[in-house]
Structure 1
């Protein structure tokens, strides 16, 4: 059995990464695709993605014990990807990780053969989505929009524009995985 591939999904807040990953989670399991949960110091009821909510103390305790394959901080929160992804990869599963553009270089160091995926959308679509989720103020949204082009697209990235139908974006991601990109 050959090792699976790690697909590092990233993009600006509001691009619809969580929605695309949820779609793939529902439609991609039969294709050997697994979506890793993130461990976040955000309450479970805060909305957004299906994540494992941890207190700051619990996150720090897990990090000190080496239970995360990747960690980073963003927007005042701690994020982690559990070591279980290494077991899944070793057993031939393709694994999707919802990463951070700011932590991409660290992820490449940890997983040198990772395959970058950029999910993006127009500024107008992103602004509407951020406003609809209700977690950011108008100034927070403006700051996020100002950072849209702050990170270069990594070479050899699969780029998915998620302005339209969610199934189209999810299908594009599954096709990229099936083709071994």
Structure 2
């Protein structure tokens, strides 16, 4: 696990965002599996919530997501129900405004985000901790093929995109977790980061 912080940018905050962990990484890096493994470590005394994500496709059994139609997603976005939202690979993704109530109650909140959307997320919640889940290219390729969602051409595009640099705003704390190996090791690193001591 690697961590570093860039200099403060002086962004005017929408909300504090301390206690918010913004998880991101290329498709196939195992974010959903990592979040599920973390949820399994949480006990009744742990003041940690993994937020579900709204998405305009059927939810996978491995992910904490709620499927919405495109029209319903747009309606909720227009009503101000989305704290964070982005469009990627032809789909809409969102995190509900309920996370702000959870943060106000002193809970640690974990969301499944997007690398491209990180600057906007930081602008809204300057105190968030960005968690980048990375994986070795050969492991990523194997996982994408095993998932069976996409063609070889689409997988090649995802592999190329996975290696691209992304913008980390000034003042944003970024922690990297290598998820190439055993999931339990990655989950233990993540648990330590958020202060859950159940190794």
- Is 1:11 paired with 2:28? no
C-alpha distance in structure 2 between counterparts of 1:11 and 1:125, whole Å: 14
Contact 2:26–2:134 at 8 Å: present in 1 too? yes
Aligned alpha-carbon RMSD (Å): 1.7
Out of 179, 191, 199, the residue aligned to residue 162 of structure 1 is: 179
What is aligned with 1:22?
36
What is aligned with 1:52?
66
What is aligned with 1:77?
91
Length-normalised TM-score, structure 2? 0.83
Residue aligned with 1:102, SS: coil
C-alpha displacement of 1:43: 1.6
Counterparts in 2 of 1:100 and 1:41: CA distance versus 1, 3 Å: same
Contact 1:36–1:96 at 8 Å: present in 2 too? yes
What number of residue pairs does the alignment pair up? 176
Greater per-residue helix proportion: 1
C-alpha distance in structure 2 between counterparts of 1:150 and 1:86, whole Å: 31
Out of 15, 20, 32, the residue aligned to residue 47 of structure 2 is: 32
Length-normalised TM-score, structure 1? 0.91
C-alpha displacement of 1:4: 5.6
Which residues of structure 1 form unaligned runs of 5+?
none
What is aligned with 1:105?
119
Contact 1:23–1:170 at 8 Å: present in 2 too? yes
